[in-house]
Amino acid sequence: MQKKTIRDEEVSGKRVLVRVDFNVPMDLNGVIEDDTRIRACLPTIMYLIQHKARVILCSHLGRPHGKVDEHLRLKPVARRLSEILHKQVKPLMESIGAGVEHIVSEMQNGEIVLLENLRFYPGEETNDPGFSHDLSLLADIYVNDAFGASHRAHASIVGLAEYLPCVAGLLMEKEIEQLSSLFENPLRPFAAIMGGAKVADKIGILENIISKVDIVLIGGGMGATFLEGEGYGVGVSPVERNKMEMVKKIQQKAETLDVKIFLPKDLIVAEKLESSATVQVVSVDDIPGNQMIVDIGPLTIKEFTNELKKCKTVAWNGPMGVFEIPQFSNGTKSIATVLADLDATTVIGGGSTAEAVTQFGLTDHMTHVSTGGGASLQFLSGKTLPGIEVLAGFQ
Ligand code: ADP
Ligand code: MG
């Protein structure tokens, strides 16, 4: 069902409570290390200001577990947003209660406040109806722009929808549109690139995506489990033996559907996951018993590149190697560079994969880099997200 957005609501003069994902990396002195998540919400905030709404922002930050933690106050976030917007963003010391209600009642059109960290209240994560109700007293309309938190059934994500009209913000709209586009008539050929640390985290995506794509390219740590399933020795690379059955099932399904799965033909191996380690390139049938897989090799990069160049749609989740260590990052960087140059729809999901693409400075060259780590994985697995489920839709 198509979801309603802020464009479908009359927001002028209204108190609009906007759930955003301002869960930014911040040091103990309140210095924000990366403000991507703040910037991602700007379209919604600007729209609401331009349309003369009274904007009440709310977010969680970190894991304070239902108690006030002085290091996790949202004040530094309000300051940064204020700098970006060249406009006052008033940080409040609480999220609910008479004091907050009073401040909100005196807001003028176009003004912005930021409520205190929602997770200072135990009712947020337990989805307590009392907490949702108290939040709802602050507003006339509730907007969810926190795609990255929408896989969690928390009070500010699902509970509020019981009490207020509930529509999508513009970031939420973009995330839903871009991620859904992969499954609704994608241009073909359509490739999925899968990697990352563990098969266990990705099996849901593989199961879902295998019936939608034409080819699957597998690298990263999960490649080891697939290779072992094919009978290769993978040295001391971690292998998820309890996932072998699932791997077999996926391979059988791929065969039935005529979807080709490409595994690495060569690999970079090292004796440990450290930058001081000596690396070597080895063929897949020649992995030394005392070494572990840390990246895909040059032949594999070449083969993956050739396949990707034929594609019109690519979904990517999971780095090809331990990209955090520069000498193990070549596979991930090469694949990211190929995607950046491709004349195709390229959609990136997963927190670490997005981080890698950002690190290589290629975000703007992709069709879409999802802001939702876990949420994007759940979406790609074909599961509904509780926060999206409760958004009002068109009949
Ligand atoms: P995402 O967050 O994008 O879903 P994951 O969290 O599943 O991705 O995977 C990212 C992690 O996988 C990275 O920290 C990376 O170092 C690790 N990784 C990639 N390849 C390997 C490998 N061959 N061995 C061990 N870890 C790997
Ligand atoms: Mg990750």
Residue 195 CA to ligand 1 center (angstroms) comes to 7
- Indicate if 83 and 210 belong to the same structural domain: no
Residue 388 belongs to some domain of the structure: no
Domain final residue, candidates 174, 201, 221: 174
- Indicate if 107 and 250 belong to the same structural domain: no
- Name the residue range of residue 15's domain: 6-174
Residue 177 CA to ligand 2 center (angstroms) comes to 23
- Indicate if 333 and 365 belong to the same structural domain: yes
Candidates 352, 371, 379: which one to mutate for ligand 1, based on the most atoms within 8 Å of Cβ? Answer: 352
- Indicate if 21 and 169 belong to the same structural domain: yes
Residue 269 belongs to some domain of the structure: yes
Confidence of residue 24 (pLDDT cuts 50, 70, 90): very high
Can you give the CATH number for the domain in which 255 is found?
3.40.50.1260
Residue 137 belongs to some domain of the structure: yes
Residue 387 belongs to some domain of the structure: no
In the residue annotation, 39 being an active-site residue is answered as no
Number of domains in the chain: 2
State whether the beta carbon of 355 lies less than 6 angstroms from ligand 1.
no
State whether the beta carbon of 352 lies less than 6 angstroms from ligand 1.
yes
Question: Which atom of ligand 1 approaches the CA of 319 most closely?
Answer: 19
Residue 390 belongs to some domain of the structure: no
- Indicate if 57 and 159 belong to the same structural domain: yes
State whether the beta carbon of 196 lies less than 6 angstroms from ligand 1.
yes
- Indicate if 106 and 188 belong to the same structural domain: no
- Indicate if 208 and 140 belong to the same structural domain: no
The structure's pTM equals 0.94
Residue 393 belongs to some domain of the structure: no
Say what the pLDDT of residue 173 is: 97
- Indicate if 152 and 199 belong to the same structural domain: no
Confidence of residue 65 (pLDDT cuts 50, 70, 90): very high
Strand partners of residue 345: 313
Say what the pLDDT of residue 201 is: 84
Question: Which atom of ligand 1 approaches the CA of 198 most closely?
Answer: 7
Total Cβ atoms within 10 A of residue 303: 18
Domain final residue, candidates 142, 174, 206: 174
Is residue 94 over pLDDT 80? yes
- Indicate if 141 and 255 belong to the same structural domain: no
Say what the pLDDT of residue 354 is: 95
In the residue annotation, 196 being an active-site residue is answered as no
Residue 394 belongs to some domain of the structure: no
- Indicate if 148 and 84 belong to the same structural domain: yes
Say what the pLDDT of residue 200 is: 85
- Indicate if 36 and 70 belong to the same structural domain: yes
- Indicate if 231 and 342 belong to the same structural domain: yes
Residue 1 belongs to some domain of the structure: no
Is residue 47 over pLDDT 90? yes
Q: Find how far residue 377's CA is from the centre of its chain.
A: 7
Confidence of residue 345 (pLDDT cuts 50, 70, 90): very high
In the residue annotation, 198 being an active-site residue is answered as yes
In the residue annotation, 374 being an active-site residue is answered as yes
Domain final residue, candidates 135, 157, 174: 174
